[in-house]
Structure 1
Amino acid sequence: MNCSGYLLRGDTEYEPYVSDQGKTLSINTRSATIGFTSFASYFLTHLLFLGTLVETPLYELDGEGLARKSKEVMVWTGLALGQYNLSLIFDAVPLRVFLDCGLDFDRWYPAPRRMLGSLRFMRTHHRDREHHRQTLDTVRERFDVRCGPLGS
């Protein structure tokens, strides 16, 4: 796993978040999948170990390229990207992966509130996924940045 791309400043070379063979995972800003690197590391590592990282059609975003063009748009795009990819990841990993995630900001809230949010996500994530994908495709076209599945 290569997480060095997050630490480097300035222009960094493009490196896809997963190698062609699916054996190397890279958490970086030129091929971002989830806005917070801690969440990306946690969830993508699970996909890697389950052998489903290459098959799961996650969107990648050139975060550096978009931030150069519009930092404000980068923030909102990062949220849409995270929701889209978490929806795909939710369908690709056992439920236990989400239940055991210690990075969950919702753990600050009481269990009943967390349960309602989780149930809402489980109920709506398929329906919302298309909206998030359309948003990401619009950002790709409008800002001319890499934003889509690997190789697109």
Structure 2
Amino acid sequence: MTVVVLAMDGSPDSVAAARRLASRPLLAGSLSVHVAHVSPVLGSPGLSGAALDAENRSQADSAFAAAEAVLPGLPLVRHWLHGDPAAELVQLAETLDADAIMLGAKGRGAIVAALLGSVVSAVLAQATVPVIVVNPRAAQARAPAQA
């Protein structure tokens, strides 16, 4: 069985990663997909603990629903994590003895990534398993125009 950690934050980029997994399974045979959503420890300014928890729960539920919509019929295991996204994804992959981590690239550019950091870069630096990065903007740029 191939075990994949699919990072989902509900963005179009993470949905593209799920679509890639649906359209081209990693290996023939059985697949175990662990959908991971990582909520930040800090939230929007002025949110109380309960409001932050509710906001995080709503975002996690949306991310899980997006994965389920793209991967219908495939049993998905949900993981709602809190903290640093890269560290949590790598730790989950290690705990599950996963074969790969799959995530979408936001494609913010080198300058923004250097200033704010990049989850993709951090996962690539920390992971001990293969990391599959889906860049939907690059795929769209290569796709022939449809008339």
Query: Is TM (by shorter chain) over 0.5?
Result: no
**Relative contact order, CA 8 A, sep 6+: which one is greater?**
2
Query: Counting helix residues as a fraction of each chain, which structure ranks higher?
Result: 1
Query: Counting strand residues as a fraction of each chain, which structure ranks higher?
Result: 2
